[in-house]
């Protein structure tokens, strides 16, 4: 964890307070009702917009109501529901594989730890962070998407040359752990 000064933490607290006041109702923009739906929507959101994902997922979620339905299917049968989303063939394979592993290795329940989520195809730290924070209220890190990275650099919370991993470590050092998911959403 990078070292941060008391004045940097104080500035982060002020910024967090301002964000909470201006964006009090900020939530994950992906539409979902269960952890597995959020996991799938987040896998689909890679290099795609949340708006586009939210247009595709109602029919997908209706056709496949639980992880077992995806596991019993094939990527080819998932593809038509997500054809409007970029990289849909690879994402269909990831969804099928992830849901199959959830059924076979996790008794049909989306795992609630970073390490277990990272074993699923199509899941990297950002996706796992979205699921943990929003579906389980578990704050293990900051979800650093394009917007969080850009704003963190613009606000001077990290260096302009920092990569995503450094941005996340810096934000985790600056902000209280119990606020990390809300911070990402704001």
The residues, ordered by sequence, that sit 6+ positions from 11 with a Cβ below 8 Å of its Cβ are: none
Spatial separation of the C-alpha atoms in residues 134 and 126, rounded to whole Å: 12
Is 145 tagged catalytic? Answer: yes
Is 93 tagged catalytic? Answer: no
DSSP line for 44-86: HHTTS-HHHHHHHHHHHHHH--SHHHHHHS-HHHHHHHHTTST
Tell which residue, 61, 123, 73, has the closest CA to residue 94. 123
159, two tokens:
């260096």
Q: Which of 31, 50, 66, 145 is catalytic?
A: 145
Q: Which of 100, 101, 126, 162 is catalytic?
A: 126
Catalytic site residues? 126, 145
């Amino acid at each position: 964890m990078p070292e941060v000064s008391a004045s940097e933490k104080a500035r982060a607290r002020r910024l967090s307070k301002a964000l909470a006041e201006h964006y009090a109702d900020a939530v994950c923009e992906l539409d979902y009702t269960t952890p597995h739906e959020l996991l799938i929507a987040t896998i689909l959101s890679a290099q795609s917009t949340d708006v586009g994902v939210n247009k595709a997922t109602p029919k997908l979620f209706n056709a496949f109501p639980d992880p077992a339905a995806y596991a019993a299917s094939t990527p080819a049968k998932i593809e038509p529901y997500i054809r409007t989303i970029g990289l849909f063939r690879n994402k269909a394979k990831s969804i099928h594989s992830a849901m199959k592993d959830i059924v076979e290795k996790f008794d049909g329940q989306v795992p609630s730890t970073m390490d277990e989520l990272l074993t699923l195809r199509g899941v990297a730290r950002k996706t796992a962070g979205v699921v943990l924070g929003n579906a389980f209220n578990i704050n293990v890190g900051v979800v650093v998407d394009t917007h969080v990275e850009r704003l963190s650099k613009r606000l001077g919370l990290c260096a302009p040359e920092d990569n995503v991993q450094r941005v996340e470590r810096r934000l985790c050092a600056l902000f209280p752990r119990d606020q990390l998911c809300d911070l990402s959403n704001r």
